[in-house]
Structure 1
Amino acid sequence: METTATIRGEIARYLQNHRMTINRFARISGINSGTLSNILNGNRPMSMHQLDRITEGMGLEEGHFYELYITESIFHTTPDWRRLRPFLVRCAELDKLDCLHKAARMTMENINYASMLFDLAEDLFNEEKYNAAALLYECVAECEKLQYSERLALCQYRLFLIRLGENQEENLQAAVYFEPYIDRLDEMYQLDAYVKLINLNISLQRWDKIETLAKRMGHQAKIHYQQNRDRFKECEYPRKPLIFYILYSYLMQADIYQERGDYDNAFYYVSLYEKPDWVINPSNEESLIMDQFNEWAEANRYMYGLMSGQPDVLYHYVDYVESRKDEIFLALCNIMITANRHHLDVDPILERFKEYLHYRSQQNQLGKVNDQLTVHRYTRFLAELGIYYLNAKQYDRGLSYILDSLKYSIRTKSDNGMLRCMGIFEQFRQYSSKETQKLYNEYIRDVQKLSVYAWSPQV
């Protein structure tokens, strides 16, 4: 029997050191003694199941021999998908991502493996094993990078979704990299991809990009609604009925005009999603969507009126959202922006909704609100609270909120947020306590670390 640095050699050495017969080890590992003998003599390849049983029988950590298995069963042989797939699955289960990546890359010279790697990546993605799935999507994308394929586009879409997180710099890179692939996606995925890109760009405040994406999404959704609406009814994608994407396009365009201070056009787009009478015989889900957009329309009419300089609308807005708990946080964000812009006293409102001043995930009738969007809004909300109290000469309270906003800006690597908070703090530094200045200096060191990292030469 071999005693070299192979799996068979390691097993043989174990048996020798423990003075153990094949029959005894067969009983311990649960593998037939004849099968075990053939494996040790090199007459039979080892399956993943057998490798795991042997590893357990030797009292070793799961996956102990995976590096050797790659060399013996994948690198020095023609990869056999019947052996390779279980190996990749086990690597994903044990989070041995280096082994998974190494084994997957060994198949890349044979493009026939791309479809099988992709199917496995989809399985892992659906099981929420995102890091493992990403490695396989990257391999498939590299294999097909010169092909104008839907599979390549779907790989890039999945990678975009996996890469989204709190880091705004990385989110921006992910968005910029994925966007050219969106038109290559199968049309069933495109509308959801547009929503994901739009929501991310809202958190990045890229309003021109949002406008472009919203118009393209609305155009495609209208075509599908007019020509293919029945085809999509039984499909898993898009996630929502087609009317959602049309109405969401109008909602985004209204918000864009509001951001530009063009309230006439903002109100026009509100009218488009407020009562879509072109929807005939709506299903229960479509009715729910229409009700939600109708609620948003009424809330936004109050909000746009408030922002355009109609302070008498404020308490109508507050009374409207009070019974709609899902809308309170967003309303508070808008109220604080308006209060600072038009010098309004909103102390009673803040007291009335004090339980909503803390960070929490947001929901509406249609599901969970995008995390990046919620964090962005909360970071801005903290800054607006800080400005409000500083203007009221409540300096300790105001600077505390500014530092909270700075902390979230650092956490998400939001350059705009960091610069804004630092500018405000420096403006009111003379009113800060020594403790507050000490905390601010700690945050500044964190900002400097981010800057040093960003400017480090890449080798």
Structure 2
Amino acid sequence: MKEFDFDEITDVDSIVGMLKMAFSLEEWEQMIQIADQLHTQAHRVYEQQQLERTKGGQPRTLHMKRPLVYYLGFSQLTKGIAFQKQGKYESSRECVEKYAELGWVDGLNEEGLQEVEDYRTLAKANTYTLDLLQGKEEVLPEYIQFLHEHSAEEVIPGMITILESAIMHNYDINPILKDFAERVGELGGFYREPQNLNYYVEFLYQLSIYRFKEGKSGLAIDAVLRAMEYAHSLKDDTSFKKCVVLFESHRSLAVKHQKKRYKSIQNSILGREKDPAKNAIFDDSLIRIV
């Protein structure tokens, strides 16, 4: 991401947009900085509203897309995710504790109360995530029950967590994958919406790594090729590059039809323009002019 003077950015919705961009680019350090700025600005607004209340006035309604409590929680949620991605699990837990209970915020209307409840659920989910990433396999049954009981939005992120944990700590999750296979398939339409597809791409990427660790190279390569196709459709360069690196590091295990599929993906990117200078075809390990 471009370097910004975060102190100059005060619009909370703009900061939320920057946080989402940093997440998509996997810029974890910058994400922490932006999250801190969001917290500073949101808390500044809250303190001003509290001051107006103590004076007996009506707090001013600012132009924000969501209730103020959303921004207070989102700053800690995203900061915690960034710490988690860096492997700083205890720092991430500290953030989780801060958005687990936001009922202390004054002036909550019905929408604000729902935000508090949503963050409470996210905190529970992310506590399971941190437990699993730290190798606490014993929480798996509880987490699986949690995923069964909650909305579709939790299923694929939850499966990503389980895959990451299994990869890191070397345990078998095939029964879990089988259990969730039907539900993941049912949610295919939901996760193929542009705003949700990134999760599906990451799920396929992690599934590919897990299959490689199992020695199931055919299934692994099929998964990473699917992830690559979806990443390309999203124009998600970060995910696409990860998939290419994973494929290339296992290229020798790919069979003919998988290499052909990979070549087709590369050709679709190159565009196959008729301009001879641009008419390059991806051919296995090299680019040739035809």
TM-score by length of 2: 0.80
For 2:67 and 2:247, locate their aligned partners in 1 and report how far apart those are by CA, in whole Å: 47
Q: Which residue of 2 aligns with 1:304?
A: 130
Give matches, 1:281-430, under 5 Å.
282-325=108-151, 326-354=153-181, 355-357=183-185, 359-361=188-190, 371-372=194-195, 374-430=196-252
In structure 2, what residue type is equivalent to 1:410? H
Tell me: CA distance 1:182–1:379, structure 2 relative to 1, closer, same or farther (3 Å): farther
Tell me: CA distance 1:256–1:447, structure 2 relative to 1, closer, same or farther (3 Å): same
In structure 1, what residue type is equivalent to 2:184? Y
Query: Structure 2: which 5+ residue stretches go unaligned?
Result: 51-57, 279-290
For 2:190 and 2:60, locate their aligned partners in 1 and report how far apart those are by CA, in whole Å: 30
Tell me: CA distance 1:282–1:228, structure 2 relative to 1, closer, same or farther (3 Å): closer
Indicate conservation of the 8 Å contact 2:156/2:203, yes or no: no
For 2:6 and 2:136, locate their aligned partners in 1 and report how far apart those are by CA, in whole Å: 44
Shift of 1:344: 2.3
In structure 2, what residue type is equivalent to 1:327? E
Give matches, 1:9-408, under 5 Å.
176=2, 183=8, 190-228=11-49, 230-233=58-61, 237-280=63-106, 282-325=108-151, 326-354=153-181, 355-357=183-185, 359-361=188-190, 371-372=194-195, 374-408=196-230
Query: Structure 1: which 5+ residue stretches go unaligned?
Result: 1-171, 363-369, 454-459
For 2:66 and 2:242, locate their aligned partners in 1 and report how far apart those are by CA, in whole Å: 37
For 2:259 and 2:133, locate their aligned partners in 1 and report how far apart those are by CA, in whole Å: 34
Tell me: CA distance 1:226–1:182, structure 2 relative to 1, closer, same or farther (3 Å): closer
Q: Which residue of 2 aligns with 1:117?
A: none
Quote the sequence identity (%).
Answer: 22
CA offsets, 1:124-162, max 9 Å, x none?
A: xxxxxxxxxxxxxxxxxxxxxxxxxxxxxxxxxxxxxxx
Indicate conservation of the 8 Å contact 1:251/1:270, yes or no: yes
For 2:6 and 2:34, locate their aligned partners in 1 and report how far apart those are by CA, in whole Å: 13
Indicate conservation of the 8 Å contact 1:198/1:210, yes or no: yes
Shift of 1:314: 1.9
For 2:160 and 2:60, locate their aligned partners in 1 and report how far apart those are by CA, in whole Å: 36
Instruction: Tell me which moved more, 407-416 or 194-203.
Output: 407-416
For 2:129 and 2:80, locate their aligned partners in 1 and report how far apart those are by CA, in whole Å: 12
In structure 1, what residue type is equivalent to 2:223? Y
Shift of 1:180: 6.6
Shift of 1:375: 2.9
| Larger radius of gyration between Structure 1 and Structure 2 | 1
Shift of 1:202: 0.7
For 1:376 and 1:201, locate their aligned partners in 2 and report how far apart those are by CA, in whole Å: 14
TM-score by length of 1: 0.52
Q: CA RMSD in A?
A: 2.7
Q: Which residue of 1 aligns with 2:281?
A: none
Shift of 1:316: 1.5
For 1:377 and 1:390, locate their aligned partners in 2 and report how far apart those are by CA, in whole Å: 20
